[in-house]
Amino acid sequence: MYVCFSYDWLLIWPLPPKKTRTNKSFYSSCRSVPVKDTEVNMGDEPVNLNEYQELARQALPKMYYDYFSGGSEDQHTLRENVEAFKRITLRPRILVDVSKIDMSTTILGYKTSAPIMLAPTAMHKLAHPEGEVLTARAAGACNVIMGLSFMSTCTIEEVASSCNAVRFFQLYVYKKREISALMVKRAEMNGFKAILLTVDTPKLGRREADIKNKMIAPQLKNFEGLVSTKVEDDEGSNLEAFASRSFDPSLSWKDIAWLKSITTLPIMVKGVLTREDAIKAMEVGVEGIIVSNHGARQLDYVPATINALEEVVVAVKGRVPVLFDGGIRRGTDVFKALALGAQAVMIGRPVVYGLAAKGEYGVRRVIEMLKDELELAMALAGCPTLKHITRNHVRTELDNRHCKL
């Protein structure tokens, strides 16, 4: 048995089975036991997102923490996603009236309190027994848009009925196209407003921590009666074996037309890193582009997403929205991404860390921290609205090299 101390609950998980490869009824064995605040010793209230990560590390079984926090192979890009932000400096403007700061914006026409969106991250019940339902409630409470993962451990219907947040649905395309088509229809019927087509996963990246831990993919309720995530693979990650069996490696640009034929929802492609693919995405008629390297969980040694962002933005020339995903840990990171042309950013791992550490409250605090830090950064940089944030507010490594020349 594994005990997780949380903000106002004591979360009790069974340890992952060592010898069996099945995860049947795993969630039915999770339970929440109320405890008195005086019995919970989580240390001081976190003051930044990195401290939530540490609390999550303490709270979760190693297998699940490694799953959420890990990247592929050498994890070079995983480190770079965060470190690259530190090499971008800010160029503030002084003596600007910042007595009122407005962070509100729209994404695909939907209003949001800040240019911050919850990225679609998988299997939240591995972080908390109530999973994506709590994440959705936190998104609604903070008035930000939530991206629901195709690999969610709560059903589309459960998430839709849990809150009034604007929700987008992430899509993987399976070899059995009818399963993906059914998920799209269910999302559409339950009020989701857009499809986030993940395009960087013809195969699952080599995530060595999951291989060593023999990561177990739980049965996903969305697919009950359609496909089983139970895979016998004693050599490595159960999740990797499931993905190899399910994901369609033949997915190509021509399939955007197929997706458009089965839904009226706007389609954004998630996983673009180059000018060439940005141009191709616009040619096939997508409504938005998400610059992402899948949290550095796919191909290692691709650029940090903040280093790829401007190339895509320049290619797009404002014709479709460009969102940013990867490495956001501070409000100043959000500011930098906006200055380089992103309309909004997505946050993934920090949301899961907040959920693991303190449930719905933790997710809300993660979102609120980023909003508060962004508001402060805008004030100190002399930007009363998002429109005031420009390319001239940042200096990148490339800028520095040009200056030396």
Contact 6, 358 (CB under 8 A): yes
- Name the residue among 292, 260, 284 with its Cα closest to residue 147: 292
How far from chain centre, in Å, is Cα 12?
25
Amino acid at 84: A
Say how far apart CA 115 and CA 110 lie, in whole Å. Answer: 11
Q: How far apart are the first and last CA of the chain?
A: 61
Q: Among the options 124, 128, 294, 393, which is catalytic?
A: 294
Say how far apart CA 8 and CA 358 lie, in whole Å. Answer: 8
Contact 126, 64 (CB under 8 A): yes
Q: Which residues contact 372 (CB under 8 A, 6 or more apart)?
A: 331
Say how far apart CA 395 and CA 398 lie, in whole Å. Answer: 8
Q: Can you count the helices (H) and strands (E) in the chain?
A: 14, 15
List helix spans (H) across 284-383: 305-316, 331-339, 349-381
- Can you list the pairs that 95-100 forms with residues at least 24 positions away whose Cβ atoms lie under 8 Å? 95/382, 96/382, 96/383, 96/384, 96/388, 97/384, 98/378, 98/379, 98/382, 98/383, 98/384, 100/384
Say how far apart CA 374 and CA 372 lie, in whole Å. Answer: 5
- Name the residue among 84, 58, 39 with its Cα closest to residue 353: 58
Say how far apart CA 64 and CA 50 lie, in whole Å. Answer: 18
The secondary structure of 203-247 as a DSSP string is: S----HHHHHHTPPPPPPGGGTTT-------TTS-HHHHHHHHHB
Residue 312 corresponds to which tokens in the numbers above?
Answer: 């895509």
Sheet holding 2-5: strands in order across?
A: 2-5, 9-13, 31-34
294 is catalytic: yes
Catalytic residues: 294
